Structure 1
């Protein structure tokens, strides 16, 4: 494989498309969970369900997750544009989104793990409502994928920045 700027930019575009798929899956998962939240299937009724969802932070996580999905779609689109326009400064702005997503997911995973270790949900019947496992596994999975994309992003963006600066490709910021 050659080390040309176009090859590095195409690799970055592939990475940005993977990030877009990650963003769409995040948005889709939390939208699905929002629908599930309003179709409570507990025997105790909707008031008991709403108490459970608010008490476990699932409702808060669903609301933040939908916003996270929208913001991630926007940043993935910006990353695609940055690699198409050969603009490394805009590409590096994607890192802010990645760190924010990892921080949000790490916070909620930490809270749910602490609650689990304290037997916080011992009164909930797992046969009736097993959302803790779903949210925990989704959070761990989404965080692991984001960390993998971020690691690859560092390699690709470093090479991309080096190639752009070395070849002096005109960007939208230049004074031509």
Structure 2
């Protein structure tokens, strides 16, 4: 009842494309946030806008998020190459990206929740509370998607590695 190598590769390519879309969505979200943070259309003036951008970690998260999106796109591209060229060692390096992305997201979610619990932003207007909520929900959503991709991916890559080693594809044995 097992799948052949071609089926496992196709499933892996679907996961890689989903991860590529995840990276593009991350880059798009944080690119939009970069635009809105530095345009500063809020009604509390330039002085408060600078305070908001410099004192919160939203601007830091936006900058790191842009790097995270580019990092995700790069590793998704490497994952596509790994499945097309039958390179299990390259496919396993994708887990490094997943762990780093999840760690970054957990860190910022924890910091935002601690700041909300201390009423750190209590003097800001409603738009600032909404902005905090957007960042929190985006962080949770991106982390959950990355978890689903990672757990599915581990099963597929384990099967991929087993199938490649079992069939002993000639291009694989000479590259290591």
Mapping of residues 39-54 of structure 1, within 5 Å: 39-54=39-54
Mapping of residues 46-85 of structure 1, within 5 Å: 46-85=46-85
Mapping of residues 94-133 of structure 1, within 5 Å: 94-127=94-127, 130-133=130-133
Runs of 5+ unmatched residues, structure 2? none
Counterpart CA distance in 2 for 1:98 and 1:137 is: 19
Offset of residue 44 of structure 1: 2.5
Offset of residue 169 of structure 1: 1.1
Three-state SS of the structure 2 residue aligned to 1:3 is coil
Runs of 5+ unmatched residues, structure 1? none
Answer whether contact 2:30 2:66 (CA < 8 A) is retained.
Answer: yes
Counterpart CA distance in 1 for 2:170 and 2:77 is: 21
Cα distance change, pair 70–173 in 1 and its aligned pair in 2 (3 A): farther
Check if 1:28 corresponds to 2:28: yes
RMSD over aligned Cα atoms: 1.7
Residues paired across the two proteins, number = 176
Q: Which has the higher helix share?
A: 2
Three-state SS of the structure 2 residue aligned to 1:41 is coil
Answer whether contact 1:42 1:129 (CA < 8 A) is retained.
Answer: no
Counterpart CA distance in 2 for 1:97 and 1:128 is: 31
Q: Which runs of 4+ in 1 moved over 6 A?
A: none
Q: TM-score, normalised by structure 1?
A: 0.95
